[in-house]
Amino acid sequence: NATAETRQFEAEVAQVLHLVTHSLYSHKEIFLRELISNASDACDKLRFEAIANPELMAGGGELHIDVSFDKDARTITIADNGIGMSRDEVVANIGTIASSGTRRFLAAMANEQKADARLIGQFGVGFYSAFVVADKVTVLTRRAGASASEGVKWESDGQGEYTLEAVELAERGTTVVLHLKADEDEFLSDWKLRSLVHRYSDHVAFPIRMPKDAGTEDDTATGDWETINAASALWTQPKSEISDEDYQSFYKSLGHDFNDALAWSHNRVEGNQSFTTLLYLPSQPPFDLMMGGRDERKGLKLYIKRVFVMDAAEELLPNYLRFVRGVVDADDLPLNVSRELLQHNRQLERIKASCTKRVLDLIESLANNEPEKFATFIKAFGNTLKEGIGEDTANRERIAKLLRFASTKGDAGKQTVSLDDYIGRMQEGQDTIWYITAESYAAAAGSPQLEAFKAKGIEALLMFDRIDEWMLGYLQEYDGKKLQSVAKGELPLDEAAKQQHEEAAKAAEPLVAKLKELLGDRVNEVRVSARLTDSPSCLALSDFDMAPHFARLMREAGQ
Ligand code: ADP
Ligand code: MG
């Protein structure tokens, strides 16, 4: 008998709704994946809370997700018996935007007419995708542990307002009813819904059920449900029994990605500490990767004995591997572990080191065996990987081995030359890896600093990514060879050249003196250089100067 209360969506929600409904029409069907994924999260949460509070599970039987439709009413219903929501939680979770990831997403999309569906998919804007196919959505929910009278009914047409009402609900959990738009009848089909569940949600770890008789003429449910997904934790199965297709479909539901994963690594470690890891490399970067963005809820999911505990990417992987998606299932961690405890947990440290090693192994195997995939990887994540040179001292050499650069002996601007390639081409007596940093490939490749190197046939790596200068600060040596900028230091000369250079310097003394006088304080020194062959002059740095590109970056940053 409580009256319905009408509320406004937060401004940003209206924005998300607008973006989602106008961008996703070519991927409409992901609403089902998103709603099933929420139902699965709700079951995960209940299972986890029930460890400390077993009475939460009382009544309601096995955790499951039910999908059904009603042709006459033109509705699709997704119901779970998971954790459910209280009235406050409904308001907080589906009337506002809680996720920092979504906020970043909005900021980035602010100027787009039509957001890239792929990005939206990666973001898993989740619940709101219901409004792509529905013009009215009803949510009925009751928090586990709450009484039947504490049910909540939420309803909205997705136009800026929603209503809230107290209702009597016999069971815990959440039921989402989609009232389909006029032209969305294709989803009112048993075959269609089943195939979508198979495509996107087969590896959800809870049973997804549909009415047995839904395909027949008279589709009033008889109460008989059948499970239509694999409903098992994929990573717990033996590798030999998992097909590539299974791995890919699990990746897509895990990573909210439309695209296939590039590669994966699935391992079981047995010993005094046992755990399973299933780690994926995506094939494309999320849009905010280089903004240093790290969506706390995208990355690695930590399970303990198959119970989902929390998203724990930061605890399980270093930041420079933040593009990795996957699952870690540990046997020996206490289930009541908190995030605070995780941050200082020795066992977890070991798992983290193991995940890091697995990912580097995986990238290395691509480099050695699958050049095309490796090239895709480098294009997507090469710059992120470079952060590891500074961040992960222990693995610096391994990471450096994986990096690829453009070079004076490479293929134009393509970043394909490894440090090992470079070393393999070093000239006799050369003990330095030379490089140049600049704003762009063209600026690096065309620099007069390189003339003498080119004339002598000495290769130089061409660095023009924003992060390179920072990275080189940590990469002073590789395989016992010094890395040095061509703008610093002196090119080593052989005896004949040395003599020639000295003579030239002597002959030019009056000119040098005159230039010094003219330039005054603006330079430290004017000298005859051996580094030029065609250009008459260039600016050089002493060993302790900041590279010009870096100095510019610092100025831009207001330093
Ligand atoms: P996300 O799943 O990424 O958090 P969504 O938009 O999909 O974002 O869902 C928003 C929030 O609404 C969820 O985080 C959850 O708290 C709540 N929610 C959605 N569906 C359910 C459900 N079936 N049971 C319980 N809570 C839910
Ligand atoms: Mg969701």
Residue 388 in contact with residue 320, Cβ under 8 Å?
yes
Strand-pair partners of 281: 263
Is the pLDDT higher at 479 or at 30?
Answer: 479
Ligand 1 atom with the smallest distance to the CA of 124 is 3
Rounded to the nearest angstrom, the distance between the alpha carbon of 168 and the centre of ligand 2 is 25
Residue 147 in contact with residue 172, Cβ under 8 Å?
no
Strand-pair partners of 173: 142
d(CA 27, CA 13): 20
Helix (H, G, I), strand (E, B) or coil at 147: coil
Provide the pLDDT confidence category of residue 123 given band limits of 50, 70 and 90. low
Provide the pLDDT confidence category of residue 291 given band limits of 50, 70 and 90. very low
Hey, how many other C-beta atoms are within 10 angstroms of the C-beta on 269?
A: 15
Tokens linked to 553: 């970056």
Residue 120 has pLDDT above 60, yes or no: no
Q: What is the pLDDT of residue 195?
A: 92
Whether this prediction's pTM lies above 0.90 is answered by: no
Average pLDDT over residues 299-326: 89
CA pseudo-torsion sign 181, 183, 184, 189: positive
Residue 290 has pLDDT above 50, yes or no: no
Mutation pick for ligand 1 pocket among 90, 93, 125 (CB with most ligand atoms within 8 Å): 93
Average pLDDT over residues 48-61: 87
- Per-residue CA distances from 509 to 490, 502, 512, 526 (Å): 20, 11, 5, 10
Residue 69 has pLDDT above 60, yes or no: yes
Ligand 1 pocket member 38 (CB < 6 A)? yes
Residue 89 in contact with residue 151, Cβ under 8 Å?
no
Ligand 1 pocket member 127 (CB < 6 A)? yes
Residue 466 in contact with residue 556, Cβ under 8 Å?
no
Ligand with an atom nearest the CA of residue 39 = 1
Give the HSE-up count for residue 114: Cα atoms under 13 Å, Cβ half-sphere: 7
Rounded to the nearest angstrom, the distance between the alpha carbon of 142 and the centre of ligand 1 is 14
Helix (H, G, I), strand (E, B) or coil at 113: coil
DSSP code, position 202: T
Hey, whose CA ends up nearest to atom 12 of ligand 1? 93
Tokens linked to 339: 């995030």
Q: What is the pLDDT of residue 64?
A: 96
Is the pLDDT higher at 315 or at 3?
Answer: 315
- Top-ranked range on mean pLDDT: pick from 116-130, 238-252, 282-296: 238-252
Provide the pLDDT confidence category of residue 97 given band limits of 50, 70 and 90. low
Rounded to the nearest angstrom, the distance between the alpha carbon of 264 and the centre of ligand 1 is 28
Task: Tell me if ipTM is over 0.95.
Answer: yes
Q: What is the pLDDT of residue 84?
A: 97
Rounded to the nearest angstrom, the distance between the alpha carbon of 160 and the centre of ligand 1 is 19
Which range, of 9-18, 413-422, 450-459, averages the lowest pLDDT?
Answer: 9-18
Distance of CA 303 to the CA centre of its chain: 19
Hey, whose CA ends up nearest to atom 7 of ligand 1? 126
Tens of pLDDT, residues 357-408: 999 999 999 999 999 999 999 999 999 999 999 999 999 999 999 999 999 9
DSSP-derived secondary structure for 12-33: HHHHHHHHHHHH-GGGTTHHHH
Hey, whose CA ends up nearest to atom 13 of ligand 1? 93
Residue 446 has pLDDT above 70, yes or no: yes
Q: Which of 282, 240, 286 is nearest to 264 (CA)?
A: 282
Residues making up the chain, counted from first to last: 559
Rounded to the nearest angstrom, the distance between the alpha carbon of 288 and the centre of ligand 1 is 22
> What is the chain's mean pLDDT, rounded?
86
Helix (H, G, I), strand (E, B) or coil at 30: helix
Ligand with an atom nearest the CA of residue 78 = 1
Mutation pick for ligand 1 pocket among 21, 31, 33, 38 (CB with most ligand atoms within 8 Å): 38
Q: Which of 126, 135, 143 is nearest to 82 (CA)?
A: 143
Provide the pLDDT confidence category of residue 72 given band limits of 50, 70 and 90. very high
Q: Which of 179, 182, 191, 147 is nearest to 166 (CA)?
A: 147
d(CA 472, CA 82): 50
Provide the pLDDT confidence category of residue 292 given band limits of 50, 70 and 90. very low
- Top-ranked range on mean pLDDT: pick from 19-33, 232-246, 520-534: 232-246
Tokens linked to 301: 């999911």
Ligand 1 pocket member 173 (CB < 6 A)? no
Q: Which of 168, 176, 171, 217 is nearest to 35 (CA)?
A: 176
Residue 46 has pLDDT above 60, yes or no: yes
Q: Which of 444, 101, 474, 480 is nearest to 320 (CA)?
A: 474
Ligand 1 pocket member 321 (CB < 6 A)? no
Rounded to the nearest angstrom, the distance between the alpha carbon of 431 and the centre of ligand 2 is 55
Region at 126 (left for phi over 0; alpha for psi -120 to 50; beta for the rest) = left
Hey, whose CA ends up nearest to atom 14 of ligand 1? 93
Average pLDDT over residues 517-532: 78
Which range, of 129-143, 147-161, 174-188, 209-223, averages the lowest pLDDT?
Answer: 209-223
Which range, of 5-14, 171-180, 326-335, 484-493, averages the lowest pLDDT?
Answer: 484-493
Hey, whose CA ends up nearest to atom 8 of ligand 1? 126
Rounded to the nearest angstrom, the distance between the alpha carbon of 37 and the centre of ligand 2 is 6
Q: Which of 523, 497, 499 is nearest to 512 (CA)?
A: 523
Tens of pLDDT, residues 452-483: 898 889 999 999 999 999 999 999 999 999 99
Ligand 1 pocket member 282 (CB < 6 A)? no
